Structure 1
Amino acid sequence: MTDEGCSDVTSALKSNPSHLRELDLSRNKLGDSGVKNLSDLLKKPKFKLEKLQLSNCSVTEEGYKALASALRSNPSHLIELDLTGNDPGQSGVKQLNDLLQDPDCQLKTLRFLSPAAEKACRYVNRVVGENPFLQRKLNLSGHKLGDTRVNQIAALLQDKHCQLNTLTLSGCSITEKQSLILTSALKSNPSHLRELNLTGNNLGNTGVKHLCAVLKDPHCKLERLRLICCDMTDEGCSDVTSALKSNPSHLRELDLSGNKLGDSGVKNLSDLLMNPQFKLEKLQLVSLYCTAITV
């Protein structure tokens, strides 16, 4: 079915709206036009739909905007909404977030992620009690993730809907191997992240090298990076400074405390600080194993 068929369906339902409780139009080419017709129906007080499924219906930002507007006009009935497989654009997730802030909104289930990311989101919700896609922050500090959880978090990070700007995984027992999985996910979707904290994980120089592939990406706009006590030596520090030399303008805070950087690592940092494009405002190097700091 296309938007034309959706228009006929909504027109028919307008003449007899009060009994329908569940509507599944998934995997049809409704587009924004079809969803806008449906949104006009959702605004009607007599329309008491409880479950609406619109997965893989070619809905974009405009369609999300129309849906959110309609549901704000008549928020009290819908309890389940499935938008999996559509593209909300930059503001689509914000439209959903604004809708969920409405105290009259009764939505209990909202789906718009890939299946793998949805599993990760359910785990995150159990641990931190919030939806990271709507709150923009994810803090799993102190939870030993293991391979299964790391893979789930990676799936969540690379989902096109993910717009996390703060990721804190301090003390999560992340290994060098797992750091490759996480950083590969971040590299596929780097533009939203502004703060990353991997403190207290066993990254080593190899894990830090994986992270440097993200830092080099011109789409990476990271502003705060914490790698405290990550088993890094001067080799890892050299990789970090090399990566930041190629993409220096965004980072404002860097904390490498508790690593064995030595004089060589600090000298590499000193060279980076001389770069006029490097706008760092805060640098922490506590408990370094070096004989002289010449920053």
Structure 2
Amino acid sequence: MSSTTMSTFSFASMAAQLNEEQGISFQDKAETWHNAEDVKAVVEALNSKPTVHFLNLDGNTLGVEAAQAISEALKSHPEFRKALWKNLFTGRLKSEIPLALKHLGAGLIAAGAKLTVLDLSDNALGPNGMTGLEEFLRSPVCFSLQELYLNNCGLGPEGGRMLSEALIDLHKNAKVAGTPLQLRIFVAGRNRLENAGAKAISKTFKVLQTLEEITMPQNSIYHVGVAALASSFKKNPHLRVLNMNDNTLNVRGAAKIAEVFEHTPLLREIDFGDCLLKTDGAYHFAEALEQNHEHLEVLDLGFNEINYDGGLALVTAVQNKPKLRIFNLDGNCFGQAGSAQIVEQMAKAKNSAALQSMDEFVSEEEGEESGAENDGDDNETPENSEDEYNDYLDEEDQEDDGEYDPNDTTEEVDEDDEEDYANENIAEETAYVTSNAFSTKLFNETVNSNKTSNTSDINKNGNKTVVNVSCTPAEFCLSQTPCTLQQFDSLEATNKLQALQNIINQFSDDNHLLLLIFTTLKCAHLSQTSQAALELAVSLYQATFDYAIKTDQESRVLDYYLKQLGLLRSEEHFKSDYNVKSCRYALREAIKSETFANDNIKNTFKIFLDQLDV
């Protein structure tokens, strides 16, 4: 090798080395940092390394004094780029989180850092935590921000409004400074933003116009909020990923999203699974996607109550997408024969391998009975929802300058206190659906054999309960209504938990899971009046999530409990047969256990339960 080549090689190697990211990671150490002494290892690492591009503190718990110590060490790192601080405040008081965040932000502001990635996912921020971020998000540190991750932070509508205002101010400040904000990725799933928060965030998207990925699943957003977001998606023509899984579009929301596709030709991944699109919504999507989006790689429209005709339209629409690798239609109302025909039709396409297996489906007749057809599509929307939707359409026709008006409360949702909310539970139209409800021979025989021994009574809340002199474990598990304390006390078993589990274990798949869930609720229903019922409910909550994790259904079960306990707002109102306040009480006790489920499930429950105390 000549000296010239040697010299070139050395300089190239040095340049590559300089461009490599260098940083510090304490990820998943499960450390508890209260003060400067506790966090000494982090501070020493920051002080000893001349170059620190990232600091990963994921999976630990940080207190105020410890955050202040880290802040001081960060001040000497203007080269800092990535704040990887997800799952960082487990077990911390609400008063601690904003103060800790202010310290961390102050350190980066003093350093003059230029942040590109901020990840605060899986932290119970809420509006209270947002107060610790407001100054930081408006500062020059974030002028260079490209990726923002706030997944599972419990922001709520108010937190969404605060975030929107901070980002709009950040955009304005960065533009004035001559360094326009180029935010590419926005992730804010599982935040209960609702329509009001969605409308606020849409203002931000209209201003930014640089987004390439928007991920906002499970936010209890309905067609009013979806319409607002759709108008803002159109302003971001570089979108490559759009994920609104497990919100509720209905046909009107689907029509608005379908209009977006014309303005976003670069889309690679589209996820509107579990959004109640229904058949007409599928038609809207199929028509909008058929002629364009040849680079589409992922299309997820599972669990949307789409019948065979809508499914066939979608299959036709994707056959000219050569890069399609995932096409999910599972859980729709095709029926067995319809599913077979869709598979057969898709097999004729060059991208046939993209179609995912359809293990769960509902017959078209069942879909019609449950409202899968569009005749009753919007009969169950909230009061004034139609007026709000029309008001929004009127607003959309006017010129929008992108400025968010904090006094605009059109979409604000009144908050009920916990007791009122318990009496008026809310469940989403897309709530937990089973492919085969209780239909086994054992179940039918047991219920039929018990009909003659049960009598009906009305309790003080006006709910029907099953009353008899004694109660077997089978009767307790298989009854479809709450049981009385008298029945619980009369359970004919020395070990009640084992006796109930013996009954539950005779069922499999969805039947087994449903029995676990509702037997838990029956015990939790009595938990404030019976210590024995409380202990049983805690054990059964644990058993339910053990089974959910074992069968990869934790998200499904978590969402269902959130809806059953009125912790997740939605459109369809229903009156629960269970004492929801008592069920929440038992859940609070259950998640105190170190062995309960996993941190993600515990933290999610804590976020929603904590919202009741705000």
Query: TM-score with structure 1 length normalisation?
Result: 0.55
Partner residue, 1:200: 246
Partner residue, 2:186: 138
Select 1:155's aligned residue among 198, 203, 210: 203
Larger Rg: 2
SS in 2 for 1:205: helix
Residues 179-205 of structure 1: per-residue CA shift (max 9 Å, x gap): 1100101102222x2111111111111
Unaligned runs of 5+ in 2: 1-77, 80-106, 119-134, 145-159, 169-180, 347-614
Pairing 1:269–2:317 present: no
The answer to whether the 8 Å contact 1:234/1:261 transfers is yes
The answer to whether the 8 Å contact 1:223/1:252 transfers is yes
1:265 maps to amino acid: G
Select 1:281's aligned residue among 321, 325, 339: 325
Partner residue, 2:299: 254
Residues 217-237 of structure 1: per-residue CA shift (max 9 Å, x gap): 2x4311111111111111111
Matches within 5 A, 1:60-79: 79=110
Partner residue, 1:20: none
The answer to whether the 8 Å contact 2:269/2:298 transfers is yes
Residues 58-107 of structure 1: per-residue CA shift (max 9 Å, x gap): xxxxxxxxxxxxx97xxx997599xxxxxxxxxxxxx955699xxxxxx9
Residue 121 to residue 80, structure 1, CA distance change in 2 (3 Å):
farther
Select 2:227's aligned residue among 167, 180, 199: 180
Residue 224 to residue 121, structure 1, CA distance change in 2 (3 Å):
farther
1:209 maps to amino acid: A
Distance 1:177 1:157 in 2: 16
2:191 maps to amino acid: H
Distance 1:77 1:97 in 2: 9
SS in 1 for 2:234: helix
Distance 2:258 2:314 in 1: 15
Distance 2:261 2:315 in 1: 18
Unaligned runs of 5+ in 1: 1-70, 82-94, 101-106, 125-132
The answer to whether the 8 Å contact 2:212/2:236 transfers is no
Residue 117 to residue 190, structure 1, CA distance change in 2 (3 Å):
farther
Name the % identity: 21
Q: CA deviation at 1:210?
A: 0.5
Q: CA deviation at 1:285?
A: 1.3
1:140 maps to amino acid: A
Select 2:273's aligned residue among 228, 234, 240: 228
Matches within 5 A, 1:20-169: 79=110, 97=115, 109-110=139-140, 119-120=163-164, 122=166, 136-160=184-208, 162-169=209-216
Flag the structure with more relative contact order, 1 or 2, with Cα contacts below 8 A and sequence separation at least 6. Answer: 1
Residues 19-63 of structure 1: per-residue CA shift (max 9 Å, x gap): xxxxxxxxxxxxxxxxxxxxxxxxxxxxxxxxxxxxxxxxxxxxx
Partner residue, 1:170: 217
Instruction: Give the aligned length.
Output: 189
Residue 119 to residue 260, structure 1, CA distance change in 2 (3 Å):
closer
Distance 2:268 2:256 in 1: 18
The answer to whether the 8 Å contact 2:205/2:236 transfers is yes
Q: CA deviation at 1:283?
A: 0.4
The answer to whether the 8 Å contact 1:97/1:134 transfers is no
Q: CA deviation at 1:164?
A: 2.8
The answer to whether the 8 Å contact 2:206/2:232 transfers is yes
SS in 2 for 1:188: coil
